């Protein structure tokens, strides 16, 4: 069985999130998703609309996701790879090169993001009173 892991905040869940999760799952048989906790996000000066418990439940309900774990620090990735016997680490291409150090532990894949969509763009659109199309 080939196991894949990815990380993210997954706030204001959108089609870009779904696309990256589906692509990640297509690389293996079992997908572990680490969802950033509220405390970890606070340390990154990032505020979510939804609390961790809601974001984790949303991600857990997606058919291609097999397991959800909390992301509590940048440093936990090597431990997660070992603990969950991960074969492939997947993250968006905007992080290209930043996680190459994990290649000592598993394959590292940088996936393309869905064009023209991001949580930030959704926030800005809603803040300006526009609808998402």
- Which residues participate in catalysis according to the annotation? 44, 46
- The angle formed by the CA atoms of residues 113, 118 and 120, to the nearest 5 degrees, is 145
* Interstrand relation of 88-92 and 107-111 (parallel, antiparallel or unpaired): parallel
With H, G, I as helix, E, B as strand and everything else as coil, classify residue 81: helix
88: phi > 0 → left, psi -120 to 50 → alpha, else beta; which? Answer: beta
The Cβ of residue 71 has, within 10 Å, a number of other Cβ atoms equal to 20
What is the number of H-type helices and E-type strands within the chain? 5, 5
Q: In this structure, are residues 73 and 37 in contact, taking their beta carbons and an 8 Å threshold?
A: no
Sign of CA dihedral 101, 105, 109, 114: negative
């Amino acid at each position: 069985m080939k196991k894949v892991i990815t990380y993210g905040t997954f706030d204001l869940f959108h089609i870009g999130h779904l696309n990256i999760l589906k692509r990640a799952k297509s690389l293996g048989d079992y997908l572990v998703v680490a969802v950033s906790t509220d405390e970890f996000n606070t340390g990154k000066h990032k505020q979510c609309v939804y609390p961790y418990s809601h974001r984790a439940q949303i991600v857990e309900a997606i058919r291609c996701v097999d397991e959800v774990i909390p992301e509590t620090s940048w440093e936990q990735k090597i431990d997660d790879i070992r603990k969950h016997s991960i074969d492939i680490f997947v993250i968006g291409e905007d992080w290209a090169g930043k996680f190459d150090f994990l290649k000592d532990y598993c394959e590292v894949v940088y996936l393309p993001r869905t064009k023209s969509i991001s949580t930030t763009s959704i926030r800005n659109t809603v803040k300006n009173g526009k609808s998402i199309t």
